[in-house]
Amino acid sequence: MSIEYLDFIEKVFIALFVTIDPLAIVPVFLTYTANDGAVLRRKMALKGTLIAGCVLVTFALLGDSFLKFIGISQAAFQIAGGFLLCFVGMDMIFAKHSGVRTTTEEEAEEAHQKNDISVFPLAIPLLAGPGALTTLVISMREAEGSLEYQGSVFVILLAVLLVSYLCLRCSNIIYKGLGVTGTNVLTRIFGIIIVALAVEYILTGITLTFPGLVSGMVAPS
């Protein structure tokens, strides 16, 4: 394996893991399923993860083609996606609930009234949210032209979804171990990573749009 390939795998895994952030979903999942039995909770965890996986895989396969069909360039999506991920990361850092990666107050109230939360809000938007969808499309565009790279994106996605399911399945144990403070600390760390990734996406988009801009800013040695 080349260093470039390993760097790509590492980057995609980190980006998907921190945008889906299964550890931060644990307390939300426990809140919505507080009155449900262990068997029903496990069923919702599995169903929600499978539905999210279908949404994410479909978007990874067709999202880029759709964007090309409507004339959105790679550079434009890199920049727009970078700004969106920046908002996601800021939400995580400052513990805001804008609805970008969590549910709004109205959506949360609706979810509390439902017996089955596997589709909403678990699958969408908690697991398959805007941040994860954006990360997938950008990763697939970066892997364009290489079946090996594209296949790796899907393998990484399945691995992250498996970790997410295991976190939901063991939600009680994880939450008791981390507690509110531990979960918040990890979420903020992940938020900082997402903002850094967002800036990288924006800079890549700018470089694609203005190829000579970055090289022109570098002082000659």
Based on the structure, what is the number of domains in the chain? 1
In 3D space, the residue among 155, 142, 140, 144 whose CA is nearest the CA of residue 13 turns out to be 155
In a domain, 221, yes or no: no
Q: What is the pLDDT of residue 220?
A: 47
Full residue range of the structural domain in which residue 110 is found: 3-34+41-212
Q: What is the pLDDT of residue 221?
A: 43
In a domain, 137, yes or no: yes
In a domain, 23, yes or no: yes
For the chain, 221 residues long, give each residue's pLDDT as a single digit of tens: 789 999 999 999 999 999 999 998 999 899 889 888 899 999 999 999 999 999 999 999 998 888 888 988 888 888 998 898 898 888 888 876 655 555 666 666 666 666 789 999 899 989 998 889 999 999 999 998 999 999 999 999 999 999 999 999 999 999 889 888 888 898 899 989 989 989 988 998 898 888 766 555 444 44
pTM, two decimals, is: 0.83
In a domain, 218, yes or no: no
